[in-house]
Amino acid sequence: MKELTLNGKNNSSRIITGRGSLQNSKEHCRDFLTCKNKPSRICVITDTNVEKLYLESLEKRIRSLGIPVFHHVLYAGEENKNLAAVSEIYDTLSNHQTGRDDMIIALGGGVTGDIAGFAAATYLRGIRYFVQIPTTLLAQVDSSVGGKCGVDLPQGKNLVGAFRQPDLVIIDPDVLKTLPKNTFTDGMAEVIKYGCIRDPQILDMIGEMGLNGYDKKDAEITELIERCIRIKTDVVEADETEEGLRRILNFGHTIGHGVEKLGGFTQFSHGEAVSIGMTAAVRLGESLGITQNGCCERLSNILHAYDLPTNITYTVEEIYAAMMSDKKKQGDSIHFVFIENFGKAQVKAIPVTELLQMMKVLGD
Ligand SMILES: NC(=O)c1ccc[n+]([C@@H]2O[C@H](COP(=O)([O-])OP(=O)(O)OC[C@H]3O[C@@H](n4cnc5c(N)ncnc54)[C@H](O)[C@@H]3O)[C@@H](O)[C@H]2O)c1
Ligand SMILES: [Zn+2]
C-alpha cells in the first residue's frame, strides 16, 4: 500500500493506492469513523453498474464499525451527469436526516465522483467528510484526485461545479478487472498524457505492456497508477485552481474537447477524443518547431497499441468552431499545451486570431 498526501488550500487528501485497498476500506476510514467528530451516518453514492459489483461488500465492511450506512444509486452514464441527478441526491440525503458532520463516499467512475463531489460540496454548504473510491482507470489516475467536481448543463460539459478536495481517496487496481476493454483504454489515454507531459518512463512501461496489460492488470498497472497520481498531486498542489501549472493537465484536451463536442459526446469517448487531441497537439508542435521531430510517430504507435484513434475525421474549420464555442474559453487567446519532448510540457497563449491559421497543418 502506498500513501500520498495532497495538501489543498482548505483541506488535504490522503490518497491510498494498492491492490486489495477496497477490502481494507474500513481500516482506511477508521480515523474518520472513530474520531471525536465522527459522522453519524454515511451515504455511499454509486451507479447502476458498480452497485452490482462492489456496493454490498463495501457497505458490509463499513457498517461493521457501527455507523449507519445508506446508499444512493445513480443511473450510469455521462448523459446522467446533470443537476437532476444532484437534486435526487439532495432528496436522499435529506430523507435520511443527513447533517453537515456526516460522510459521503463516491464509489464509481468519474461520473459518479463528479456528481457525488458536487453534492458533498454543496449540500448544507458542504459536508464534513468526502471519500472517493474510484473504480475506473480514468477516475483512479485523474478525476478522483485534485478536487474538481461538477456536472454538465445542456449548454456544455462540466459547466457547474466546485473545488472540494476529498479527505480520503482509496485506489484499488483490482477493481479494474471488471472494466470493459474500451473503458480501460479510455483511462489509458490519460495515463499516456501524464507520460507525455511529465514522466517519459510511463511511456516506456506501457510501450512494453500493450493491451496484454489489460488482461493481466497486475503489478505494472499499480505502478503506473501511482506514477500518475504523483504527477497529479504535485501539479495540483502547485496550482489548485488552475491559474498556471495545472493547465499542463489539459494536454490533448483543447482539440480533444472540440472533437468530443463535434461527435455529440457519443461518437468518441473522452479518452478517444483526448487521444486524437494529443496527436494533433504533437503534430502542431512539430510543425511549429516546438516539439522534437519523431514524437508524433512514437506517440501514434503507443496510442494504436491501445486501440486509441489518432486521426481527425472533421475539418480544421469544424474543430476550430467547436473549440471557439467552449464556454470556458477566456479572453482573446487560448492556452495551448505543447510538448517539447516526452516529459516536458510547454503552455503557450495563442491569440484566437492566429489559431485557425496555425491549425491548418492538421488538414494536410
Ligand atoms: N473532476 C475531474 O478532475 C475530472 C477529470 C477527468 C474526467 N472527469 C470526468 O470523468 C467522467 C468520465 O469518467 P469515467 O470514464 O470513469 O466514466 P464513468 O464514470 O461513466 O464510468 C464508465 C463506465 O464504467 C462503469 N464502471 C465503473 N467502474 C467499473 C468497474 N470497476 N467495473 C465495471 N464497470 C465499471 C460505469 O458504470 C460506466 O458505465 C467525465 O464526466 C469527465 O468529465 C473529471
Ligand atoms: Zn481528460
What pLDDT shows up at residue 76?
97
- How confident is the chain (364 residues) per 10-residue block, as mean pLDDT? 90 93 86 85 98 96 90 96 98 97 97 98 96 97 96 90 95 94 94 97 81 59 94 92 89 94 91 97 96 96 93 92 74 91 95 89 84
Tell me if residue 223 is catalytic. no
CATH number for the domain running over 185-363: 1.20.1090.10
User: Where does CATH 1.20.1090.10 sit in the chain?
Assistant: 185-363
**Which atom, in ligand 1's list, is nearest to the CA of 175?**
31
* Atom 4 (ligand 1) nearest CA: 143
Please give the pLDDT value at position 214.
54
> What confidence tens digit (pLDDT) does each residue in 215-233 have?
555 668 899 999 999 999 9
Q: Which CATH architecture has domain 2-178?
A: 3-Layer(aba) Sandwich (3.40)
Is 232 in the active site? yes
Decide: residue 138, CB within 10 A, 0-12 exposed, 13-18 middle, 19+ buried.
Answer: buried
**3-class secondary structure, 91:** helix
Residues of the chain with CATH 3.40.50.1970: 2-178
Catalytic residue among 36, 37, 125, 311: 125
Q: What is the pLDDT of residue 32?
A: 82
Model pLDDT for residues 145-177, shown as the tens digit of each residue: 999 999 999 888 899 999 999 999 999 999 999
- Which pLDDT score is estimated for 327? 58
Position 364 scores a pLDDT of 76
Helices (H), 139-263: 181-197, 200-209, 212-216, 219-238, 253-262
CA 345 – ligand 2 centroid, Å: 16
Kindly give the distance from the C-alpha atom of residue 249 to the centroid of ligand 2, in angstroms, as a whole number: 8
Q: What is the pLDDT of residue 314?
A: 92
Q: Which amino acid is at 35?
A: C
Which backbone phi and psi does 105 adopt, to 5 degrees?
Answer: -115, 125
The single-letter DSSP state of residue 191 is H
190 is catalytic: yes
Instruction: Give the three cell numbers for residue 257.
Output: 474537447
Taken in order 34, 171, 158, 91, is the CA torsion positive or negative?
negative
- Scan for cell 443527513, then name that residue: 98
CA-proximal residue: ligand 1, atom 12 (nearest) = 110
pLDDT at site 91 = 98
Nearest atom in ligand 1 to the alpha carbon of residue 271 is 15
| DSSP run (H or E) holding 130 | strand 129-134
Looking at residue 241, its pLDDT comes to 81
Question: Which grid cell is 110?
Answer: 468519474
Catalytic residue flag (residue 257): yes
